[in-house]
Amino acid sequence: MVQSLEEHPDQTALELLVEFQARYPGRYSLRQLYTLQKRVRQWRRQAVQRLIAEVNSPTPCASALSNSYLSANG
Protein backbone atom coordinates (compact mmCIF):
# COMPACT_ATOMS: atom_id res chain seq x y z
CA MET A 1 0.00 0.00 0.00
CA VAL A 2 2.89 2.35 0.69
CA GLN A 3 4.11 1.92 -2.86
CA SER A 4 0.66 2.82 -4.15
CA LEU A 5 0.61 5.94 -1.94
CA GLU A 6 4.07 6.96 -3.11
CA GLU A 7 2.98 6.60 -6.74
CA HIS A 8 -0.33 8.43 -6.13
CA PRO A 9 0.06 10.58 -2.97
CA ASP A 10 -3.27 12.34 -3.54
CA GLN A 11 -5.19 9.06 -3.43
CA THR A 12 -7.75 8.86 -0.61
CA ALA A 13 -7.96 5.96 1.82
CA LEU A 14 -11.28 4.93 0.29
CA GLU A 15 -9.81 4.92 -3.23
CA LEU A 16 -6.87 2.88 -1.96
CA LEU A 17 -9.21 0.40 -0.26
CA VAL A 18 -11.34 0.02 -3.40
CA GLU A 19 -8.20 -0.54 -5.48
CA PHE A 20 -6.95 -3.23 -3.11
CA GLN A 21 -10.39 -4.87 -2.88
CA ALA A 22 -10.32 -5.22 -6.66
CA ARG A 23 -6.72 -6.41 -6.67
CA TYR A 24 -7.19 -8.90 -3.80
CA PRO A 25 -10.86 -10.02 -3.73
CA GLY A 26 -12.15 -11.08 -0.32
CA ARG A 27 -9.07 -9.88 1.55
CA TYR A 28 -10.09 -6.30 2.46
CA SER A 29 -13.47 -5.15 3.79
CA LEU A 30 -15.07 -1.76 4.27
CA ARG A 31 -14.70 -2.27 8.03
CA GLN A 32 -10.98 -1.61 7.59
CA LEU A 33 -11.53 1.87 6.16
CA TYR A 34 -11.10 3.77 9.45
CA THR A 35 -7.80 2.00 10.20
CA LEU A 36 -6.61 2.66 6.66
CA GLN A 37 -7.56 6.35 7.00
CA LYS A 38 -5.41 6.59 10.14
CA ARG A 39 -2.49 4.90 8.38
CA VAL A 40 -2.77 7.20 5.35
CA ARG A 41 -2.77 10.27 7.64
CA GLN A 42 0.28 8.90 9.43
CA TRP A 43 2.07 8.23 6.11
CA ARG A 44 1.29 11.76 4.90
CA ARG A 45 2.60 13.33 8.12
CA GLN A 46 5.83 11.38 7.74
CA ALA A 47 6.11 12.34 4.06
CA VAL A 48 5.71 16.02 4.95
CA GLN A 49 8.34 15.70 7.68
CA ARG A 50 10.76 14.09 5.20
CA LEU A 51 10.18 16.92 2.70
CA ILE A 52 10.72 19.57 5.37
CA ALA A 53 13.93 17.85 6.48
CA GLU A 54 15.18 17.77 2.89
CA VAL A 55 14.47 21.47 2.43
CA ASN A 56 16.08 22.44 5.73
CA SER A 57 19.23 20.38 5.31
CA PRO A 58 21.77 21.86 2.92
CA THR A 59 22.80 19.68 0.05
CA PRO A 60 26.50 18.73 -0.09
CA CYS A 61 26.92 20.73 -3.28
CA ALA A 62 25.30 23.86 -1.84
CA SER A 63 27.32 23.52 1.35
CA ALA A 64 30.57 23.22 -0.62
CA LEU A 65 29.67 26.25 -2.72
CA SER A 66 28.87 28.40 0.31
CA ASN A 67 32.08 27.28 2.06
CA SER A 68 34.20 28.12 -1.00
CA TYR A 69 32.42 31.49 -1.31
CA LEU A 70 33.08 32.27 2.34
CA SER A 71 36.74 31.27 2.00
CA ALA A 72 37.23 33.44 -1.07
CA ASN A 73 35.32 36.44 0.29
CA GLY A 74 35.77 35.98 4.01
40-61 residue pLDDT tens = 999 999 999 998 998 888 766 5
Question: Is the per-residue pLDDT at 2 higher than 90?
Answer: no
What is the pLDDT, as a whole number, of residue 63? 56
How far does Cα 62 stand from its chain's mean position?
24
Question: Is the per-residue pLDDT at 67 higher than 70?
Answer: no
The answer to whether residues 1 and 16 touch, using CB atoms and an 8 Å cutoff, is yes
What is the pTM assigned to this prediction? 0.67
What is the pLDDT, as a whole number, of residue 23? 94
